Amino acid sequence: MSLPSAHLFIQTLILGILVGGVYALMASGLTLIFGVMKVINVAHGAFLILGAYLTYLLFQWFKLDPIISIAITMPLFFLFGWLLQKYVFSRIESPEQTSVLVTFALALILEGLLGAIFQTTARSVTPSYSTATIILATYRIPVTRLAGFVTALVVLLILYYVLERTRLGRAVRATIQDPRAAQLVGVKISMVSAFTFALGVSTAAAGGSLLSMIYTFNPASQGDWVAKTLAIIVLGGMGSLPGALIASLILGVMEQLTAIIVTLYWSPIVFYVFLFLTLIVRPQGLMGEVIREKG
């Protein structure tokens, strides 16, 4: 263990923020779905990995750039999410108690299928710029990380626009704030739920595409991503999008710093430590309501 120099510290800070942006995109769908439906979608990690494999296939077959493939994977996942909500999740009684188990079942089904098709080999998508770095005022910035960060921001901005400016988006926000009042003023909850779930799952497609070029992945790695994204939304305040963004940046930076100061192997512990600290000190997270709700 050694303290990094100022240069290394700033370098790490930059990498942490870049990673944090991607985490924010990955966690956005999870927190959105919880906000509207009170469903903790444990299958979110499996959706991310599914998105990563889809991007991998598109790259292998058509040499399609992982960022461009988002334009294909996102609509597909939107449809997938809509159907899942319509035919599976809408049937669940008392989602707060059973949603974790139902979504865990979904995650297992996907992990098993992906494992049968792709085996456990670690894969990644390697576009021509995958090893390139930009040097900016003596700081090295990997192109994939920068591209991932920018793409994540663009997708998050689109998400923000949809939620702020469209009728359906306003209905979603109203439902997060007060489902009963939203219903009274004519919001159709079933419609909003389907839309939110589809939107949340489609962000996993984009997140998965970015994941595929920044990290290596195999079917079993879905578990690690669930743990990370869950820690983010608990720290940010479950159901809060701005909270998820701030938490992602904090955890991204802390993770990179741990990797430098301690070792890479210990860096995931940051997520769990923050998760526990949040629950002890401030159960409602950075932003958001108290999560001591009775499930």
Partner 1 sequence: MLKFFRSTPGLVAILFVVGLISPWVMPNQYYQHIIVMTLMAAVMASSWNIIGGYAGYTSLGHAAFFGLGGYLVAWTNTHYGWHPFISVWFLSLIVVAVALVMGWIALRTQGSAFVVVTIAIVFIFRLLALNLGSITNGANGMTQPRPGWGGAQWSPELFKIPFLYFFLVLLCLTIFASWWIRNSKFGLGLIAIREDEGKAESVGIDTMMYKVLAFGISAYFVAVAGGIYSYLFTYIEPGFVFDVFVSVTMVLMAILGGRGTLWGPVLGAFIMQPLSIWVVGAFGGSSIHLTVFGGILLLVMLFMPQGILPAVSESLNRRKQVQSPAQEAK
Q: Nearest distance from residue 85's CB to partner 1, in Å?
A: 14
C-beta of 58: minimal distance to partner 1 in Å? 23
Q: Assign 134 to helix, strand or coil.
A: strand
106, 146, 206, 253: residue in contact with partner 1 (rule CB under 8 A)? 106
User: Interface mask (CB under 8 A) for partner 1, residues 208-227, using x and -?
Assistant: -----------x---xx-xx
- Residue 130's alpha-carbon distances to 1, 41, 225, in angstroms, are 30, 31, 22
Q: Would you say 14 or 230 has its CB closer to partner 1?
A: 230
Q: How far is the CB of 66 from partner 1 (least distance, A)?
A: 25
Q: Which of 135, 137, 185, 280 binds partner 1 (CB under 8 A)?
A: 280
Of 31, 45, 19, 267, whose CA–CA distance to 153 is shortest?
Answer: 19
Q: Report how far residue 295's alpha carbon sits from residue 292's, in angstroms, rounded to the nearest whole number.
A: 9
Tokens 């192997």 appear where? 265
Beta bridge partners of 217: 123
Interacting residue with partner 1 among 132, 161, 266, 282 (CB under 8 A): 266
Q: Is there binding between residue 38 and partner 1 (CB under 8 A)?
A: yes
The nearest distance, CB 185 to partner 1, in angstroms, is 27
Nearer to partner 1, 132 or 269 (CB): 269
| Segment near partner 1 (CB under 8 A); pick from 35-43, 50-58, 77-85, 198-206 | 35-43
What is the C-alpha end-to-end distance of the chain, expressed in Å? 42
162 binds partner 1 (CB under 8 A): no
- Of 41-70, binders to partner 1 (CB under 8 A) are 42
- Residue placing its CB nearer to partner 1 in the complex, 3 or 293: 293
| Residues in binding contact with partner 1, number by CB under 8 A | 55
CB 257 within 8 A of CB 1: no
Write b or e for each residue in 238-261: b if 16 or more Cβ atoms lie within 10 A of its Cβ, otherwise e. Answer: bbbbebbbbbbbbbbbbbbbbbbb
Give the shortest CB-113-to-partner 1 separation in angstroms: 5
Pick 135 or 280: Cβ nearer partner 1: 280
Q: How far is the CB of 67 from partner 1 (least distance, A)?
A: 30
Q: How far apart are CA 269 and CA 286, in angstroms?
A: 19
Interaction of residue 108 with partner 1, rule CB under 8 A: yes
Contacts of 264 (CB under 8 A, 6+ apart): none
Q: Which of 70, 232, 238, 254 binds partner 1 (CB under 8 A)?
A: 238
| Collapsed DSSP state (helix, strand, coil) of residue 133 | strand
User: CA of 26: how far to CAs of 41, 238, 258, in Å?
Assistant: 12, 14, 21
Tell me if 106 sits within 8 A of 45, measured CB to CB. no
**By CB under 8 A, residue 281 contacts partner 1:** no
Q: If binding is defined by CB under 8 A, does position 283 make contact with partner 1?
A: yes
- From residue 72, how far is each of 10, 68, 77, 83, 220 by CA, in Å? 36, 8, 9, 17, 24
Residues that bind partner 1 (CB under 8 A): 34, 38-40, 42, 88, 91-93, 96-102, 104-116, 120, 219, 223-224, 226-227, 230-231, 234, 238, 265-266, 268-269, 271-272, 275-276, 279-280, 283, 291-295
